[in-house]
Amino acid sequence: MELRQLTYFVAVAEELSFSRAAARCFISQSAISHQVARLEHELGSKLIARSTRTVRLTDLGAQVLPLAQQMIRLESMIAATARTPGGRVRMAANMSFAQQSLAAIAKLRTEHLDVEIEFIIKSFDQRIDAVLGGDVDLALIRGGLERPGLAIEHLWVDDLVVAMSQRHPLAGAAEVGLAELGKYPLLLPSARDQVLLHNVIRDAFDRHGLDRPRQAPPLPVDHTATMELLNHPEEWTVLYERTPLAGIAFTRDTERALRVPVSAVVRAPSGQSEIVNDLIAALRSVRADLAGENDVAGPAM
């Protein structure tokens, strides 16, 4: 059994397509098919069920996949350790954390010139699994988390941005009260796809004794909220960050009730390396600097 065979198997299993897996691995489709077949021959059982229309994992393939993924991660960690004698720190997040993360990395690099610091884009579930599996040292998340083997380091609290069409009756106001917002339909993904935002808005209206806003039809996963706001100017939504867009107005709730905590997830028990602690401190520091700049600049509309 060779590591490249496991790599090709993982690519096919994740893509559920030999052609896409081949493109991802920069080899021919026949070559990747041959290597997966060799792996199956060595194991004495099929890992992937093929047909003219579909590719799916067998029961054994589903059991082997996480083990193969772990082997590949370990190989990557070994190679990275050999490349960086001073050490390596890997931080997982999504793109909404890019500004704070890259600023913190730049700050940390001035203190640890011999350390390689990586910023990796992953979905929420992938971030948590990567910390548990040791593939990353910390992950940035919004909201809370209770998971055996993990610890939470609180970083800061984000004020959510209220977004609406510039044709919305409330557009143009620097601040809008929850009671006024509640008169108009709220656009969000389904609760299954975005439970945090649903919980934050529900709790904010409940705490202030207000009726919850009427829900617009859930935002489809392949649609953007801002485009839907342009199509339905009576609706409003909340975003994690303010990105200037034509036709979209931004404001904040007067009560500052629409807020979410931001945390770093690390492996438990505590006692992570000095470099990881320094990275957490740098994240807090650059966030405070950015918040100060925004206070000076005032709200952008």
Band (pLDDT 50/70/90 cuts) for residue 25 is: confident
Return the pLDDT at 294. 53
Return the pLDDT at 257. 97
Q: Domains in the chain: how many in total?
A: 3
Return the pLDDT at 301. 32
Confidence check: pLDDT of 110 > 50 = yes
Q: Are 152 and 100 contained in the same domain? A: yes
Q: Are 216 and 265 contained in the same domain? A: no
Q: Are 279 and 145 contained in the same domain? A: yes
Q: Are 145 and 266 contained in the same domain? A: yes
- Look at 273 and 229; give whichever has higher pLDDT: 229
Asked if 267 and 151 count as a contact pair (C-beta separation under 8 A), the reply is yes
CATH of the domain at 57: 1.10.10.10
What percent of the chain is predicted at pLDDT more than 90? 53
- Lowest mean pLDDT of 51-55, 102-106, 184-188, name the range: 51-55
Q: Region 202-218: what's the mean pLDDT?
A: 96
Confidence check: pLDDT of 91 > 90 = yes
Asked if 134 and 231 count as a contact pair (C-beta separation under 8 A), the reply is no
Band (pLDDT 50/70/90 cuts) for residue 295 is: very low
Confidence check: pLDDT of 256 > 90 = yes
pLDDT in tens, 126-180: 999 899 888 899 999 998 888 888 999 999 999 999 999 999 999 999 999 999 9
Phi, psi of 144 (to 5 degrees): -105, 175
Q: Cα separation of 55 and 60, whole Å? A: 14
Strand partners, 57: 48
Q: Are 145 and 88 contained in the same domain? A: yes
Return the pLDDT at 36. 94
Q: Are 180 and 266 contained in the same domain? A: no
- Lowest mean pLDDT of 70-79, 112-121, 291-300, name the range: 291-300
Return the pLDDT at 222. 72
Q: Are 103 and 166 contained in the same domain? A: no
Q: Which of 80, 114, 136 is the last residue of a domain?
A: 80
- Look at 101 and 289; give whichever has higher pLDDT: 101
CB atoms within 10 A of CB 190: 14
Tell me which residue range forms the domain holding 247.
Answer: 161-257
CATH of the domain at 251: 3.40.190.290
Of the ranges 21-35, 104-118, 218-232, 245-259, the best mean pLDDT one:
245-259
Q: Are 168 and 198 contained in the same domain? A: yes
Q: Are 117 and 187 contained in the same domain? A: no
Q: Region 224-229: what's the mean pLDDT?
A: 91
Q: Are 247 and 165 contained in the same domain? A: yes
Q: Are 30 and 99 contained in the same domain? A: no
Asked if 1 and 38 count as a contact pair (C-beta separation under 8 A), the reply is no
Return the pLDDT at 292. 62
From residue 59, alpha-carbon distances to 13, 30, 54, 65, 269 in Å are: 12, 24, 16, 10, 35
Structure tokens at 248: 């979209």
Contacting residues for 171 by C-beta, under 8 A, at least 6 apart: 164, 165, 249, 251
DSSP 134-185: TS-SEEEEES----TTEEEEEEEEEEPEEEEETTSTTTT-SEE-HHHHTTSP
CATH of the domain at 290: 3.40.190.10
Return the pLDDT at 13. 92
Return the pLDDT at 34. 92
Q: Are 151 and 188 contained in the same domain? A: no
